[in-house]
Structure 1
Amino acid sequence: MRRYIFFGIHFINITSLNTSFLIFYINFVTMKIIIAGSGEVGFHLAKLFSYESHAITLVDLDEERLEYANKHLDIKTLLGDATLPSTLKEADIVNADMLIAVTSSQSINISVCVFAKQMGAGRTVARVSNQELLGVDDIIDLKALGIDEMISPEALAANEVKMLLNQSAFTDTFKFDDGALTMMGLTLRSKAPFIGNTVQEAADIFPGLHFVPIALQRYGTQFTIIPRGDTEFMRGDRVYFITDTEGVEELYKLTGAEKRSIKKVMILGGSNIGRTLAKDLCKENFSVKVIEKDHKKAIDLANILPNALVINADGRNVEILKEENISKMDAFVAVTEDSETNIITCLVANSKGVRKTIALVENMDYFQLSHSIGIHSLVNKKLLAANSIFRYLRKGEVVAMTKLNNMNAELLEFVVKADSKVTNSKIVDINFPRTAVVGGVIRDGKGIIALGDFKIREGDRIVVCTLPKSIKSVENLFC
Structure 2
Amino acid sequence: MKIIIAGAGEVGFHLAKLLSYESQEITLIDTNKESLSYADTHLDIKVIRGDATSIAILKEARIETSDLLIGVTSSETINITVCVLGKQLGSKKTIARISNTEFIQHKDEVGFTKFGIDELISPEALAAAEIELALKQSSFSDTYEFENGALNMAGLTLSKTALFVGKSVKEAAHIFPEIHFVPIAIQRQGTQYTIIPRGDTVFKKGDNVVFITSEGGGEELCKLTGKVNAEIKNVMILGGSQIGYKAARDLSDKGFNVKLLEENKERAFEIADALPNVLVIKSDGRNVDLLDEENISEMDAVIAVAANSETNIMSCLVAKSKGVKKSIALVENMDYFELSHSIGIDTLINKKLLAANSIFRYIRKGEVVAMTKLSNMNAELLEFEVKAKSQICNKIIKYIDFPRSAIIGGVIRDGVGLIALGDFKIQEGDRVVVCSLLKSIKGVEKLFL
TM-score range, shorter chain: over 0.9
Written as runs of structure 1 = structure 2, the 5 A alignment for 1:116-155 is 116-155=86-125
Q: Give how far 1:97 is off.
A: 0.8
The ranges of structure 1 where at least 4 consecutive aligned residues each deviate by more than 6 angstroms after the TM superposition are none
- Residue deviations 1:75-95, cap 9 Å, x none? 111111111211111111001
Q: Counterparts of 1:221-370 in structure 2 under 5 Å?
A: 221-370=191-340
C-alpha deviation, 1:412, in angstroms: 0.7
The SS at the match of 2:28 is: strand
2:82 to 83, 93, 112: 112
Secondary structure of the equivalent of 2:143?
A: strand
How far, CA to CA, are the matches of 1:246 and 1:212 in structure 2?
13
Letter of the 2:281 counterpart: I
Q: Distance in 1 between matches of 2:190 and 2:2?
A: 39
Partner Cα separation in structure 2 for residue 320 and residue 144 of structure 1: 51
Q: Work out the CA distance in 2 between the residues paired with 1:117 and 1:358.
A: 39
- TM-score, normalised relative to structure 1: 0.92
Q: Look up the equivalent residue of 2:203 and give its one-letter code.
A: F
Maintained 8 Å contact 1:189/1:257: no
Distance in 1, matches of 2:143 and 2:75, equals: 30
Q: Secondary structure at the match of 1:175?
A: strand
1:62 partnered with 2:40: no
Q: For residues 248 and 264 of structure 1, what CA distance do their matches in structure 2 show? A: 22
Q: What one-letter code is carried by the residue in structure 2 that aligns with 1:215?
A: A
> What do residues 285-336 of structure 1 show as CA deviations (whole Å, max 9, x unaligned)?
1111111101110010111111111111111111111111111111111001
The alpha-carbon deviation at position 68 of structure 1 amounts to 2.1
For 2:18 and 2:189, how far apart are their aligned partners in 1?
27
Distance, in Å, in 1 between the alignment partners of 2:14 and 2:205 is 35
Deviations 1:266-288 (A, max 9, x none): 10100000000000110111111
CA contact (8 A) 1:190 1:256 kept: no
Report the Cα distance in structure 2 between the residues aligned to 1:450 and 1:457, rounded to whole angstroms: 12
2:175 paired residue number: 205
Partner amino acid for 1:363?
N
Contact 1:60 1:66 in 2 (8 A): yes
SS state at 1:231 partner: coil
Q: Given residue 25 of structure 2, which amino acid in structure 1 is its aligned partner? A: A
Alignment correspondent of 1:89: 59
Greater Cα offset, 255-264 or 114-123: 255-264
Give the corresponding residue for 1:47. Answer: 17
Equivalences for 1:457-472 in 2 at 5 Å?
457-472=427-442
Quote how far apart the aligned CAs of 1:201 are. Answer: 0.6
Which aligned pairs between 1:411-422 and structure 2 lie closer than 5 A? 411-422=381-392
Residues 35, 59 of structure 1: 8 Å contact kept? yes
Q: How many residues are matched?
A: 449
Instruction: Map Cα deviations across residues 426-462 of structure 1 (whole Å, 9 max, x no partner).
Output: 0011011121110000111111111111111111111
- Residue type at the aligned position of 2:276: P
Q: Calculate the aligned-residue CA RMSD, in Å.
A: 1.0
TM-score by length of 2: 0.98
1:473 CA drift (Å): 1.1
Contact 1:171 1:185 in 2 (8 A): yes
Amino acid at match of 2:223: K
Question: What SS does the aligned partner of 2:108 have?
Answer: coil
Measure the CA separation in 1 of the matches of 2:245 and 2:389.
Answer: 46
